Structure formats: C-alpha cells, structure tokens
Chain A
Amino acid sequence: MEYETTRNEQETMKGKGENHRVKKLILFLLVLMGLFAFPVIKPPLFFLTLFFSVFMYIGLTESWNLLGGYTGYISLGHIAFFSTGAYTTAVFMNRLGVSPFATAILGGLFASVLAAFVGYPVLRLKGAYFTISSMLLSVVMQLIFMNWEFVGSSTGLWYKLLPVRIEVNRVIFYEVMLSLATVITLLVRWVERSKFGAGLIAIREDEDVAKTMGINTPWLKMRAFILGAFLAGVVGGVYGYYMSYVHPEVTFNINTSLLIMLMAFFGGCRTWTGPLLGAAVLSLANQLIVTFIGAEISRILYGLLLVIVIIFMPDGVIQYVRGMFTRQRIGAQL
C-alpha cells in the first residue's frame, strides 16, 4: 500500500506543522509569563500556597515519570529522594545555618547518591518485585529517620524561616518552585525526545528486545533512576525550606507516593504532558479538598480514583476523554 503525496501537498503539510508548533510555543510562553507575573497583582497568600503545591507536584510527578512512565518501572520510593532533599536542607539550616537554596542542590546530590546505591541491586528486579522493594525503601527510611537523633527523630526538625515578611517569603518560594517545575518539565520533555528517551521507552516496551538492540539496559535504568532522584531531591530541598519543618511522617508519607503515581496515570504516563496535566489538576483538587474538607477524605477520594483509573482507563483519563489511542512517538513533536 503505497501512498503518494504531491510535492505541493508535502510543502503545505510541513508549513502547517511549523505554524502549529510556533502557535503552541507562543501559547506556552504566554502562560508561563502569566504565571511568573502572577504575584505582581498581590493575590491572597492562599493562592500562592496553592500554586506552590501544584508546582511541587508537577516537579515530583514529571521526575517520577522518567522511570515510571517512560521505562515502565513503577517506583513507590520517590518520596525517599524527596525526603532526602528536604532533610538535607533542614539539617544544614538547623545545624549550620547555611544559606538557603544552595543546599537544595546538595539535597538533590545526596538523593542521587542514595539512588545509585539502592538502584544497583534494586533495578535488577523486575516489575512487581522492583515496586515492592521501592516501597520498602520508603518505609524503612521512615523508620530509620523516626529513630535517628541527628535528624530529630520523632520530633522532627524546626528551623528558621527566611528573615523576610511572610508575603515576600511566599512569593520567593512561589517563583522558585515555578522555575523548578518549568526546568524539570522541559528537561523531561527533552529526555523524551532524545536518544536516551528512546532507549527508556524500548525498555518499557520489551526489555529483552531492547538488549538485543544494543541498549545497555542496567545503565540506562540507573541513569533514569538517578536523574529522577536528583530532581526529586532538589524539589524536596526547596520544600524543606518552605515548610521550615520536617518530620518523617510528613515527608515519607505513603499517601504522597499514591498521589504521584495517580497523577502520572491520570494524566497519561507516556508523554511529558501527562504528568503535567495530571499533577496540575489533581494537586489543585487535593489542596482544595484538604483545606476545606479534610485530609482523610481527600485520600479516600484519591484511593478510589486510582482504583477507577486502573480498572477503566489504563492509558490515563485525559486520553480516555480524548478517545484516542495514545501512540508513543519517540522524539515526538510536541
């Protein structure tokens, strides 16, 4: 079945494609600029807090998706890396009074090191065993931190807020987390379209076949794992400052693991837009429900949503609603 398009048609199609892409880019930039400029209109603090949470979840979910959606290794241990970052900044601030934000990067580095150690054995496990081990990582780390003097064990760690007014404080963190979310999303998008991403996707589709194509699967998985961990660690580092308090039951909370996974599945875990949409929609809803109704109710709803999504919409709700088959495209033009 050969198809032929005339030279002319091909040119117009290419032209249309370009036009389309430019339009999307402009739209994206406008939205981004709007978000950055938002604090200028002096909105109520509640909104800044709300959006901070949204940006944070976007960062977490996108970074999770490198290993989760692209490679097909569902990790319930992402919060361990997030917490490593949070605790890094907490300890540095608490014990050494070191200036903020630089230590967030350090938090990311510590998280990477943890990922490297843990990933070496754990990434050799397949599917369910990997997920179970990743969950064990979170649970065990929580237990350790609950009993470790140095990080404040079960009382947690308090430390000083930035020496500025609360309004300015909130704005600073809003902008920082927004930048972080943007950088992470763009990074993940870049990976998806790159050779690295193509390799990860091949691993997800059929790991044995990927090996026969010359893909060094352990190394690629490790890279995805470490990169995801680093990004989660940095996000955690910023979060740690924002909250000015860390406690194992908060940072290692299993419900966060559920939420991250749910956001990715809900939005569609095969491309970079899925976690973005999923995180935006669901974290917004989550924050609102938690604030106005209660944390447990929100979690119950999310648990139910996860069950529904898995049973009825394996490709993600957004895709289900569009009613279209998500065909993965490596180096996709979005």
Chain B
Amino acid sequence: MSLSYIIESIISGLLLGGIYALLSVGFGLTWGTMKVLNISHAVFAVLGAFLAYWFFVKAGIDPILSLPFLVVLLFLAGAVVYRLVIRSVTKAKDVIMASMVATFGVAIVIENVMSFFWRPDPRILKPPYTASSIFVGEMAISKGPLIGFCMAILAIALLYWFLHHTYTGKGVQATWQNPMGAALVGINPEHVSLITFGLSIASAGAAGVAMALIYAFYPSLQSVWTMFVFMVTIVGGVGSVIGTALAGLLIGFIIGVCAAFLPFVWVNVLLFALLLIILLFRPQGLFGS
C-alpha cells in the first residue's frame, strides 16, 4: 500500500468531512439556540439532493447553478416546518425530548413522501465535470468531491459571516448565549427561531446537494446521514460553527485513514465506538464549552 494511496484516502476523507461539517452546522445551530433536537435535519439534505437531481435531469440545470435557488426553497420549507411543528414543541416541558420525538415523526413523513413519489432507488448526481479528476503528483482527486467540498466551505463561510457580521445573525447568537437577555434588548425570539431554523434546513439542503455529487442517495439514507450529523455535532460540541467545521474535518480525516486499511463498514463501527467514548467522558464535545 503506497503512501500516495493513503494520502489519497485521507484527502477523500477530508473532502467528505467538510461536507459532513456543513451538514451538521445547522443541526448544532437549532440545538444550541432553541434546545431543539431536530432529527429530521438530515432528511432535508436528502431532499436537497433529490431536488438538485431533478433540476439537473429534467431541466438540465447544473447543480452549482440551482444551488442558490434550492437553498431559498429549503429555507422556506424550514420555515413551514417551524411554524407547524417546532414552535409548539418549544413550549413543552422537556423540549429536547419532545422535539426529538416530534422531528422523528417529521423525518419519517418526509422520507416516505420522497419514497412514495420518487421511489426508493438510488440516484446519483453526475454532471459531466464530475467524471474527471485533477492530479497532484501521483494522486487523483476526483472533481465531484472537490466541488462538493468547495460548496460546503463556501456555505459554512457564508453562515459564519451571517452569524458574526450581520445584525440578524448577531441576534441569533445573542439568543443562543442568553435568551432572556436577548429578549430584553428587544430581539424577537420567535423571529430569531424562525430564521435560525430556516437557515439550518437550508444548510442541510446545500450539504445534500454537495453529498449527491459524491455518493448515490436514496430516501432511507437519511438515517445514516443523521448518524453522521450526531457524530460531528457531539464531537465538535454544540457551541460553534468553527468547532463543528473542525470536528467534521477531524472525522473526515479519521474516515480517510481508516478507509485506507479497513472495509468501509468497520469504519462506521469505529466511529460509533469513538462517539460513545466521547459521550461518556466529554459530553460537551472536543471543542465545545
């Protein structure tokens, strides 16, 4: 096994990790600000993947072009789910549990709606440029993952910029850190929650599009992606965008290293074990507070 093979594997892992990071950032956002454990987060990623797929296959629109539109669409979807489900759930005695169970229901509904209309067969998003690779020395880096990774980094950067450099974004952060204080200075918590949730779902959708460029997807894949969302969030801590991004890259790195030596399935088992260990000894995550 050559060194370049291992490095190739690691790079693939890192690219994937970046996308997992984007997938998880929104999840941490809702958990941190609203104490909502949105188990339906990943299903919207699958939805995003499907929508990008249909735009490409039926209308010939490249996913890079359709992405902004899809992001808006999914933001609206998030807003709808917020109004219908999330808002009521935040009033429960045990918000975390109630939101988890309720969003579990939402996830199953959306998964099966997709399955019903679009059938459970795997699809893959393959615009022509994903067929080739760029070469660094002896190593080949497939263009699909690379573009997906770039999308992810861009989206994370945008999210970060939004949270730290816009008025609304700062309002979100304020509510995160001190809900009562934020409300007292005139920040409307409902407003903030709606935007937060919408952004969260939108980012999930974007991540789904990025993922679709790499792997085949189908409705029931959402539960596997949910697993990765948990992993990244718990490793990175529910605290920050940067923490989640780093956690995603770390997990990607681990996946890359393991995939070079182990069958893929055992990589997942390893990650599960790692997650359990972290949960037991440092539930606030490696980077969280």
Which A residues fall within an 8 A CB radius of B? 74, 76, 121-122, 124-125, 127-129, 131-133, 135-136, 139-140, 143-144, 146-147, 249, 254-255, 258, 261-262, 265, 294, 296-297, 299-300, 302-307, 310-311, 314
Contacts and interface: CB of A to CB of B under 8 A. Distances in A.
Nearest to A139: B227
B116 A311 contact: no
A304 B101 contact: no
Contacts, number: 115
A77 to B, nearest CB: 12
Contacts of B224: 139, 143
Nearest to B105: A306
Interface residues of B, number: 41
A314 B92 CA distance: 9
Task: Decide if the interface of chain B is mainly helix, strand, loop or mixed.
Answer: helix
B102 interface: yes
Most B CB contacts (10 A, CB to CB) among A74, A132, A133, A146 go to A132
Given A140-B269, A258-B104, A311 B109 contact: no
A147 B265 contact: yes
B116 A296 contact: yes
B160 interface: no
Given A258-B104, A303-B107, A294 B96 contact: no
B73 interface: no
Contacts of A121: 276, 280
Contact of B113 (A74, A144, A300): A300
Given A140-B269, A258-B104, A297-B116, A127 B94 contact: yes
B279 A133 contact: yes
Contact of B112 (A125, A249, A262, A299): A299
A139 B231 CA distance: 13
Interface of B: 37, 85, 88-89, 92, 94, 96-98, 100-102, 104-109, 111-113, 115-116, 220, 223-224, 226-227, 230, 234, 263-265, 268-269, 272, 275-276, 279-280, 283
Contacts of B280: 121, 124-125
A305 B102 CA distance: 10
Most A CB contacts (10 A, CB to CB) among B112, B220, B234, B264 go to B112
Contacts of A300: 108-109, 112-113, 116
Contacts of B116: 294, 296-297, 300
B275 A128 contact: no
Complex A-B, nearest 10 residue pairs according to Cβ-Cβ distance, in ascending order: A306-B105, A303-B109, A303-B108, A296-B116, A307-B105, A147-B265, A299-B112, A296-B112, A303-B105, A310-B102
Contacts of B106: 303, 307
Given A128-B100, A146-B265, A147-B263, A310 B89 contact: yes
Contacts of B265: 143-144, 146-147
Most B CB contacts (10 A, CB to CB) among A125, A128, A147, A249 go to A128
Contacts of A76: 104
B37 A258 contact: no
A261 B223 contact: no
B227 A304 contact: no
A74 B100 CA distance: 10
A127 B97 contact: yes
A258 B227 contact: no
A307 B96 CA distance: 14
A255 B105 CA distance: 10
